[in-house]
């Protein structure tokens, strides 16, 4: 059992209980432990009872009928509060701060009021400013605190207490080391757990950073990037309530990853969140075709943004004289008038919104021309042109056949303001005029436009002159259906075109409405594995959050995408220029030191200039290797997985292999995930079996992929090294460093 120096009612020590929940029974230290656990159990019981009362009260209020819009809005707020309380059954209380002034504050999943509204809160919400010292106070900077206590619970029982004195001269690398390492030693379940009880200072600084612009967080394997990103969402929604009205978009690298993190934000009480991948942001489009890395790289370049803008601009109608037929007569709108109306209608609007604005102006212009021509005819009539008078009479009878009173033209032949407005409405509703506008300024479709552009080499050369002839040939040769790299291009076209009709989506929660509307503007966007985004995907993100309130986390050294970016500055230049803030996570909490020691030469092979994150824990298990022939792979992998599952019963085991080995392994490994290095990104298991590391290194950007594969385990790493000849009995397998050197 790990011991740390602690303060417990004046007694140093770590308060623990046995695995069954019973505290030790001997020595004075045991008495102190039992006392601390009993003290926190009493508080947990009090907080749980208060949580239950508040939840019951909210449930009663929610059972009443919502009568009006204001009441319905209140009902939504109460329902969110109720769901937050309901989900807070597990880990309701996890921390305590003892102030130098004698105050005691408990920290938990949610905030709980005391029965008296004007008293101190019974339980501080972890996101509240008053709770921040729980994550950031140190012995060097105690922030007014004498002690921090980590409280570990299982269900409704307190099972451990870990105290840290903050008012002495003790310094430490980590905040709450005992609680952190206890959490890291837990078995993996395949789902991401919340980590609010063990967040460290560098993580908390990022979580609570200002949301005034793009924040790009570099973090190597096991530094808690995803945990930081998701807890930042929860914090921002708590600290900036207006974000909840706009929803928060969380972008992940794959559906598997989104499933992995799916329970984290709801567990933190946040329901105003939309999760997606870049491929699923356009809900009506499905990426159904794989394509070469060359094509993916070409289509991901920022040059397409300008190319598509220019292409859509070229499709706008050109000013010319318009001759329109209205009730048997032809009316002319001059080219100069049309040019002015076009310029006014476009003014930065998307194609279809500009079209609608022009159509409205055209209805007014035609009505004005009709009125002017009729007034001119009336003037000529007064000079004695009887044939013109007859024509005017016919027009009058047509316009006023349904009128019962004599106004305007019935009296003097001139249209009144009311009659002119009626004329405009009739023009706007006229099918012939609508058909004329559709023919002159047609409705367009993003998929059709992109298909036309990508299959026409002349158009590509005109609007994307930066492409070489060979690249144009490669792009134009690709057939439908759409590939992943086409999605950002379709999104750009959809944005440039705009909606023909934009109905407001309905839904009880803001996330429901945001999910169904492509043009929704989010309050904040969080991107995980952001190093994989192409320049066009960054533009895709920016369209959904023009305020640039964006948090992107990733490891540029784990990039496996087809683009050629090797630094964050290169990756985000096209979207953000120099207007972004960098942050870094430097401590590896997940991957043991024994494994991280293997990564530095791999990073150098990948062309990185970064230092691997510093591992803070040791599993005590040296990574092992077994050299086999390809013919032995299936049996050896099955046996190795069985042994790992036995050693890590209750946890998880994952297998990572080169892409060309996956099918063979899936045939014999049905009860564990078998993934490529790319597919394993962002995941973690207790033990990893790595198949053919040199084969992974030989894949495109394979050294980056091998860096990913090596760092997925929290406890044990095993490797099967393939050789064409069976090893001689009694020989030892070469170490990974030499194997990789041989591959190079």
* Burial class, 60, CB count within 10 angstroms (exposed 0-12 / middle 13-18 / buried 19+): exposed
Confirm whether residue 650 is marked as ligand binding: no
Instruction: Determine if residue 654 is labeled as part of a ligand binding site.
Output: no
Q: What is the chain's Cα-based Rg?
A: 34
For 167, the token pair is 């008012």
Rounded to whole angstroms, the Cα distance separating 464 from 439 reads 28
Q: What is the C-alpha to C-alpha distance for residues 368 and 694, in angstroms, rounded to an integer?
A: 77
223 is an annotated ligand-binding site residue = yes
CA distances (Å), origin 640, targets 212, 633, 672? 50, 10, 12
Specify the 3-state DSSP secondary structure of 14: strand
Q: 408 among the known binding-site residues?
A: no
Check: CB of residue 133 under 8 Å from CB of residue 144. Answer: yes
Structure tokens at 312: 């859509």
Closest Cα partner for 210 from 234, 230, 240, 246?
A: 240
Spatial distance between the Cα atoms of 573 and 449, rounded to a whole number of angstroms: 27
222 is in an annotated binding site: yes
Q: Is 507 annotated as a binding residue?
A: no
Tally of CB atoms within 10 A around 266? 13
In angstroms, how far is CA 186 from the centroid of its own chain?
27
Q: For Cα atoms 577, 581, 582, give the angle at the middle one, nearest 5 degrees.
A: 110
Residue 687's beta-bridge partner residues? Answer: 653, 716
Place of tokens 């598509």: 308
Q: What is the residue-wise DSSP string for 600-629?
A: HHHHHHTT--SPPPEE----S---EEEEE-
> In the chain, what is the greatest distance between 2 CA atoms, to the nearest angstrom?
124
For residue 540, which of 518, 559, 523, 560 has the smallest C-alpha distance? 518
> If you search the block for the tokens 């992929």, which residue do you land on?
705
Place of tokens 């003097």: 412
Backbone angles phi, psi at 688, to 5 degrees: -120, 135
Cβ atoms 665, 637 nearer than 8 A:
yes
The answer to whether the beta carbons of residues 685 and 654 sit under 8 Å apart is yes
- N-term to C-term CA, the chain: 44
176 is in an annotated binding site: no
Per the structure block, which two tokens stand in for 163? 């105290």
How far is residue 534's CA from residue 298's CA, in Å, rounded to a whole number? 10
Residue 224 labelled as part of a binding site: yes
d(CA 122, CA 135): 19
Annotated binding site: 219-226
Annotated binding site for ATP: 219-226
């Amino acid at each position: 059992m790990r011991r740390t120096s602690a303060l417990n009612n004046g007694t140093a020590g770590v308060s623990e209980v046995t695995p069954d929940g019973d505290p030790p029974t001997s020595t004075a230290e045991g008495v102190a432990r039992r006392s601390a656990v009993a003290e926190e159990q009493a508080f947990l019981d009090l907080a749980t009872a208060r949580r239950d009362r508040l939840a019951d009260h909210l449930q009663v209020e929610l059972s009443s009928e919502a009568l009006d819009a204001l009441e319905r809005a209140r009902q939504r707020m109460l329902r969110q509060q109720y769901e937050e309380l309901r989900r807070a059954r597990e880990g309701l209380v996890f921390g305590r701060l003892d102030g130098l002034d004698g105050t005691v504050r408990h920290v938990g999943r949610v905030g709980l009021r005391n029965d008296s509204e004007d008293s101190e809160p019974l339980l501080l919400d972890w996101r509240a400013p008053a709770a921040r010292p729980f994550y950031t106070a140190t012995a060097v900077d105690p922030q007014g605190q004498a002690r921090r206590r980590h409280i570990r619970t299982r269900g409704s029982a307190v099972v451990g207490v870990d105290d840290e004195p903050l008012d002495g001269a003790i310094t430490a690398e980590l905040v709450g080391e005992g609680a952190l390492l206890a959490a890291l030693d837990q078995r993996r379940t395949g789902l991401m757990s919340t980590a609010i009880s063990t967040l460290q200072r560098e993580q908390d600084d990022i979580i609570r950073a200002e949301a005034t612009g793009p924040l790009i967080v570099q973090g190597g394997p096991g530094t808690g990037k995803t945990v930081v990103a998701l807890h930042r969402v929860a914090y921002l929604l708590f600290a900036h309530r207006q974000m909840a009205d706009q929803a928060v978009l969380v972008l992940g690298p794959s559906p598997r990853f989104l499933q992995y993190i799916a329970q984290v934000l709801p567990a933190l009480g946040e329901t105003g969140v939309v999760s997606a991948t870049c491929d699923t942001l356009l809900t009506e489009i499905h990426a159904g075709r794989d394509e070469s890395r060359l094509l993916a790289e070409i289509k991901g370049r920022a040059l397409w943004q300008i190319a598509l803008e220019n292409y859509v601009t070229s499709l706008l109608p050109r000013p010319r004289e318009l001759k329109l037929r209205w009730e048997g007569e032809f009316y002319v709108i001059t080219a100069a008038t049309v040019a002015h109306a076009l310029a006014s209608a476009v003014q930065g609007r998307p194609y279809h919104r500009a079209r609608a604005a022009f159509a409205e102006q055209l209805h007014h212009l035609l009505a004005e021309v009709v009125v002017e021509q009729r007034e001119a005819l009336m003037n000529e009539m007064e000079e004695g042109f009887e044939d013109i008078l007859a024509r005017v009479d016919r027009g009058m009878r047509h316009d006023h056949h349904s009128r019962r009173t004599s106004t305007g033209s019935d009296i003097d032949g001139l249209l009144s303001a009311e009659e002119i407005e009626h004329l405009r409405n009739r023009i706007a509703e006229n099918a012939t005029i609508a058909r004329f506008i559709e023919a002159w300024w047609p409705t367009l479709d993003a998929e059709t436009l992109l298909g036309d552009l990508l299959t026409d080499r002349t158009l590509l050369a005109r609007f994307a002159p930066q492409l070489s002839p060979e690249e144009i040939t490669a792009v134009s040769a690709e057939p439908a259906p759409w590939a992943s790299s086409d999605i950002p291009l379709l999104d750009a076209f959809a944005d440039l075109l705009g909606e023909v009709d934009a109905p407001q989506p309905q839904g009880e929660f803001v996330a429901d409405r945001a999910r169904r509307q492509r043009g929704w503007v989010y309050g904040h966007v969080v991107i995980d594995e952001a190093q994989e985004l192409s320049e066009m995907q960054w533009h895709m993100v920016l369209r959904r959050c023009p305020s640039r309130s964006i948090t992107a986390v990733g490891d540029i050294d784990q990039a496996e995408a087809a683009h050629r970016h090797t630094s964050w500055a290169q990756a985000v230049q096209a979207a953000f220029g120099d207007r972004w803030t960098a942050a870094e996570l430097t401590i590896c909490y997940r991957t043991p030191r024994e494994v991280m020691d293997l990564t530095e030469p791999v990073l150098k092979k990948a062309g990185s200039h970064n230092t691997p994150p510093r591992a803070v824990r040791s599993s005590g298990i040296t990574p092992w290797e077994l050299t086999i022939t390809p013919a032995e792979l299936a049996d050896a992998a099955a046996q190795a997985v069985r042994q790992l599952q036995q050693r890590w019963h209750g946890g998880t085991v994952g297998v990572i292999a080169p892409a060309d080995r996956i099918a063979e392994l899936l045939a014999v490994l049905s009860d564990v995930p078998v993934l490529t290095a790319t597919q394993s990104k962002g995941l973690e298991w207790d033990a990893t079996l790595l198949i053919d590391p040199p084969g992974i290194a030989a894949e495109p950007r394979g050294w980056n992929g091998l860096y990913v594969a090596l760092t997925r385990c929290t406890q044990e790493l095993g490797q099967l090294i393939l050789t064409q000849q069976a090893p001689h009995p009694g020989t030892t397998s070469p170490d990974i460093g030499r194997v990789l050197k041989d591959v190079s």
